[in-house]
Amino acid sequence: MKKILFVTLLLLSLPAFAHEGEDHGPAAQPAPASAAEPRLEVTSPDFELLAVLKDGALTLYLDRYASNEPVSGARIELESGQHKAQAKAAGDGVYTLPAPWLAKPGRYEMSFTVEAGDTVDLLAGVFAVGDGSHEGGRAKGKTVAAWVAAAIALLALVWLLRRGRRRALPLLWLVLGLALAAPERPALAHEGEDHGPAPLPPSGGSPARLPDGSVFVPKPAQRLLGLRTVLAEAGEVAKSVELNGHIVPDPNASGRIQAAQAGRVEAPDAGLPHLGQKVKKGEVLAWLVPVSTSLERGSQEAQLAELEAQALIAGHRAERLKQLEGSVPRKEIDAARTESAALQKRRAAVAASLYQRESLRAPVDGIVSAANASVGQVVEARAVLFEVVDPGRLWVEALGYDAPQASGIRSARAVTGDGQTVDLQFLGVGHQLREHALPLQFRILPKDPMAAVSVGQPVRVYAAGGETVKGIPLPQGAVVKGPSNDTRVWVHAAAERFVPKPVQVRPLDGSRVTVTAGLQPGERVVVQGAPLLSQVR
């Protein structure tokens, strides 16, 4: 009798093991109450609609299927059996309608007629409310051990009655009662069986990472995060290479103003120009007064005085010969006049070197990009005082390490550190190495508005040649780094579920990359808000 009691209690303490062919559901913790909200997801090439039942009302979230952009101002009509209702707008892409008939558990066939602008679509699906199939399967598995213990106790009771051992009947009745009143135990399924659907993710307002690495993001949270997607489309794209470069001025539309000799800077009537000031070609930017030592100045003044005396004597002699015209040969008179005029010019040249100032003028139209002068400043010869640049005519210089690839460039684009992009026109490649690389020059193509770039600013140049590669072009913002520093993208697998996918990429241009492996055409890839999904824990 003690053995029967021991075996019965042992069976009651063991969990039930599921056998092949039954769906016993997961052995996970019960989902929170919020996860019990019934949901229905229906999609079409134009729309994605998610219906959530809560407090006797359906909340409908309507988005564009390809972009995940909320659709506002739509007309949604629901038809389910004898019930027909029209949803009311409750926000950006959110609609509500009362559904008291869904209070009873069951499976309801629903069809939604959606009208948004010129697009009309019909979405249909089955809405399951209070589906207890999984719970029933678990209960069946849980009570196997209890029923086995009850059967053993019942057989022992019959055997004792036949033997006439009535003293043990009270104890046996106690064992049978314990078996029938035993609490339910969780069922454990063995390898190779169908363990039922995955645990439902929480449907509250906060995103959550699921055990398989995917991320559950409720629709309200998707609105707040601004998640947007694009459909992956494969094709042939130009193979490109990334180069390091910097902005340089166009030598035909820029210039430097240098001092031709040592001198002292004086300001013009309008004052010295400031940075960013627009100037015209030939405009006086500053005056330069020559400076010299006292010895040099004394020598020049002595030379000037000597020239003045010689010019005065030559002038008097020319006048006397003119008065003797007719008695003096004509050639002597002309020679005296020429000598007097030459001395006057030599005197004027020496005087100018002593007292005349030099004008510093703008060589081209543009803006002042560098100003290194101040009033009264004494500068040496060849000192750079001003630089003038035309901001609408700039070039880019880059360094390439592959000569055949550098010579076959067909299109190029430059990206600044703050993300601005400019289109480039390839000018040519040099044949003299600079830093063990070939210098390449590009012209920045004008556009409206022009990008705010400056001379000397570093840029990344993406140059494409005639070679192509098969892949899926995506915006740069779609690519993120995983925990192991791997490159990945986020795929919109379901209405509220996003799955990370490792991919192989190569640069395409300044704003796009090409996915060469890891992604299938037609998948919805997150292109806005992907870094936010990586932060969900």
- pLDDT reported for residue 24: 40
* 255-387 classified as CATH 3.40.50.300: no
Mean pLDDT of 79-84: 91
Fold designation for 242-250+389-466: Elongation Factor Tu (Ef-tu); domain 3 (2.40.30)
Mean pLDDT in residue range 110-129: 93
pTM above 0.85, yes or no: no
Higher pLDDT, 520 or 26: 520
- Residues pairing with 424 in the sheet: 412, 444
Query: In 3D, which of 211, 194, 160, 237 has the Cα closest to residue 18?
Result: 194
For residue range 44-72, list pLDDT tens digits in order.
Answer: 999 999 999 988 899 999 999 999 999 99
Nearest-angstrom CA–CA distance, 386 and 372:
6
- Superfamily of structural domain 39-129: Immunoglobulins (2.60.40.10)
What integer best gives the mean pLDDT of the chain?
A: 80
pLDDT digit string, tens, across residues 386-442: 999 998 899 999 988 876 666 678 888 898 888 888 889 999 888 888 888 889 999
Predicted pLDDT at 170: 58
What is the per-residue DSSP string for 10-28? HHHHSPEEE-TT------S
Answer whether residue 133 shows pLDDT above 80: no
**Per-domain residue ranges for the chain?**
39-129, 228-240+468-534, 242-250+389-466, 255-387
Q: Which of these ranges, 49-58, 159-168, 188-197, 360-369, has the smallest mean pLDDT?
A: 188-197
SS3 423: strand
Residue 431 neighbours by CB under 8 Å, 6+ apart: 438
Residue 441's closest CA among 455, 452, 425, 456? 425
| Bond before 458 cis per omega within 30 degrees | no
Residue listed under structure tokens 């001003």: 386
Residue 169: the pLDDT is 53
CB atoms within 10 A of CB 458: 11
pLDDT band at 127 (very low <50, low <70, confident <90, very high): very high
Q: What topology is assigned to 228-240+468-534 in CATH?
A: 2.40.420
**Shortest CA distance to 439 belongs to which of 427, 422, 425?**
427
